Structure 1
């Protein structure tokens, strides 16, 4: 059965992991966000009671 011969498939496995570990991570890490996050105030705004009837 040719599927049991590991020589071509092992090379393909190693080559694919070589691509995944050397080419793709720098492309992902080079991504930058266009908007910097801003800090929000920790104070809660005052809330008004809801005066609608519950019918």
Structure 2
């Protein structure tokens, strides 16, 4: 049963992970971040009660 022989499949797995590790991260990190996180202010916003017209 050739599928139980790990020699060719292990080599293919190692090569494919090396390709993923070397090619994919630079392409992903090259994209700009559109929504950069900003620090939140410590003061609470003013919450006014609603004046309902009825």
Whether TM-score is above 0.5 comes out as: yes
Give TM-score, length-normalised by structure 1: 0.62
Unaligned stretches of 5+ residues in structure 2: none
Q: Please, what is the CA RMSD of the aligned residues?
A: 2.4
CA distance 1:45–1:4, change in 2 (3 Å) = closer
CA distance 1:19–1:45, change in 2 (3 Å) = same
Give TM-score, length-normalised by structure 2: 0.63
CA distance in structure 2 between the aligned counterparts of 1:6 and 1:49, rounded to whole angstroms: 70
**Structure 1 stretches of 4+ moved >3 Å:** 34-45
CA shift, 1:15, in A, is: 1.1
